[in-house]
Amino acid sequence: MTISPFEERYRTDMNAIFDDRAKLAKWMAVEVALAKAHARLGNVPAGVPPRISAAAQKVTLERVLDIEAEIHHDLMAMVRALTEQAGDAGRYVHLGATSYDIEDTATALIFIDAVGLLETRMEKLGGELKRLALKHKKTVCIGRTHGQHAVPTTYGMKFALYYQELERGRERLRDARKRIAVGKMSGAVGTMATFGRDGPKIQKMVMQELGLSEAKVTNQVIQRDRHAEVLCVLALIAALMEKMAREIRNLQRTEIGEVAEPFTSKQVGSSTMPHKRNPHKSERVCSLARVVRANVMVAMENIALEHERDLTNSANEREIFPESFVAVDYMVGEMTGILAGLVFYPENIRRNLEMTRGLVMAERVMIYLTEKKGMGRQDAHELVRTLAQEAFAGGLHLKDLLVERKVLDRNEAAELFDYTTYIGQAEKIVEDAVRD
């Protein structure tokens, strides 16, 4: 039985980056890099690193788990299993290191892989957003503020807005990657005491071998603000996925019905209501965003460890790191699929534009009266506001009322109430926003 839905239901390629075998491989990669550094400094025979590297290929997860069951220390179980396979070279495995020299440095390697995969996934989503933005840059729809009809906008504007936010997410992810791509080889409290005068050289050599930067100062661990930052960035990306999904959910409401997420011919919406076409994928995205946000709070709590460290971060990081990355990876992939198959209902878009009987063009009329009829801005606002209230109360079209009261002639009214000509610079804004 699987306990976490991220093991099966929401599984992605990200799972392989965080599974036990991948983590074990990263641990041993750090051990090999440490042996190489010692050999370069003459602390161990030159033949030791190749033998430890070869031994690492023979270590099995099953053997490590057997040892862990006996000694109750996962990292040390790896050290013993690697030592077993290394023969005489085994005496040099883990020389001078503490567990979190290996653990935290390996975690940096894992995060780098995870960020790389997520960047690829986000690039594909960006492609879908760009496609939709350009395709619908002239698709006029009603804009809504405070849940009420405002003035016309275009669907291209919506997608361009999301595209730019996604770009900021990618930028934040790249920035966070720089700060998480650090390792340590500094011992139990960060002083490098076990390495003596070679400490700085060993740490530098190990990190160069692994393609990481050095943490300039540590205690027993890499400081958790780095990890918390990455989870904050993941939460921001998750919030964007939720933002898009919530908009789709609202626009798919029966009484709005402008767009809908894809729905296959055999898909079931409800166990009792055969007609239902629920936006369940978008709802799932919104649900998972809450999990990612909650994990940020745990990561923040992990920053203030006691003294040179305590173990209160360890257990929860086994959960929040993989869960957050897998959840966001799943959400980004899900949103890409939703957008690729998004269904538009043009007749409903037009219907909603007309729903208020022209009231949404009141702003345009006010500006026209100010610029072309010589009215003061406040006077024009009050006149149009009063007539808009009257039109609403009487179920009249604002255009007809304005003509009837001789505020506008019919030609002026026809021009001013053409929704398609009141989208300002929307087309240019969209093109500029998605330009590479």
pLDDT in tens, 362-385: 999 999 999 999 899 999 999 999
- For the chain, domain boundaries: 12-95, 102-183+220-258+277-355+426-436, 359-416
The active-site residue, picked from 146, 265, 275, 307, is 146
Name 137's Cβ contacts closer than 8 Å, sequence gap at least 6.
Answer: 154, 156, 157, 160, 426, 427, 430, 431
pLDDT means per 10 residues, the chain with 436 residues, are: 84 96 97 98 96 97 97 96 96 96 98 98 98 98 97 98 98 96 97 96 98 97 97 98 98 96 70 72 97 98 95 95 98 98 97 96 95 93 95 95 94 95 96 94
Q: Is 136 a catalytic residue?
A: no
DSSP tally for the chain: helices H, then strands E: 17, 6
112-115's contacts with Cβ under 8 Å and 24+ in sequence apart are: 112/177, 112/180, 112/181, 113/17, 114/14, 114/17, 114/18, 114/325, 115/173, 115/176, 115/177, 115/180, 115/230
Which CATH number among 1.10.40.30, 3.40.50.300, 3.10.20.310, 1.10.150.20 corresponds to the domain 359-416? 1.10.40.30
pLDDT of residue 3: 82
Considering 53, 149, 227, 270, which one is annotated as catalytic?
270
Decide if 270 is catalytic. yes
d(CA 342, CA 431): 21
Name the CATH architecture for the domain at 12-95: Orthogonal Bundle (1.10)
Topology (CATH level 3) of domain 102-183+220-258+277-355+426-436: Fumarase C; Chain A, domain 2 (1.20.200)
End-to-end CA distance of the chain, in Å? 47
- pTM of the entire structure? 0.94
Which stretch of DSSP H or E encloses residue 150? strand 148-154
d(C-alpha 47, C-alpha 67), whole Å: 27
